[in-house]
Structure 1
């Protein structure tokens, strides 16, 4: 579904889910043992905030669209 052109607006939500359920755990565990990974964990968290912002914008737009119908 990630590369489905018809569902491109869902990509931010998918990215947030992937970051939350896969990436964050991996980076947190790696950074516990290798402090060099900590900047990558910080980058991941910043990246998640950007994707979350895009996902929230899309959700807000969809709510407005549903209210208009």
Structure 2
């Protein structure tokens, strides 16, 4: 679905899911053993916030469209 142009608006939600279920665990574990990875973990968390914001915007638009029907 990530490369499906018909579902491009769902990309932010997919990214948040990937970050939550794959990336966060990996970066947290690496940063426990290598402190130099901590800035990358912080960047990941900032990136997640941006994707989450986009996902929330999309969800709000969908909700408005559903209410209009």
Q: CA deviation at 1:26?
A: 0.0
Cα deviations by residue, 1:4-57 (Å, 9 ceiling, x for unpaired):
000000000000000000000000000000000000000000000000000000
Aligned equivalent of 2:42: 42
TM-score (norm 1): 1.00
Moved over 2 A (4+): none
Give the TM-score of the pair, scaled to structure 2: 1.00
Q: Distance in 2 between matches of 1:3 and 1:16?
A: 16
Total equivalences in the alignment:
69
Structure 2 unaligned segments of length 5 or more: list them: none
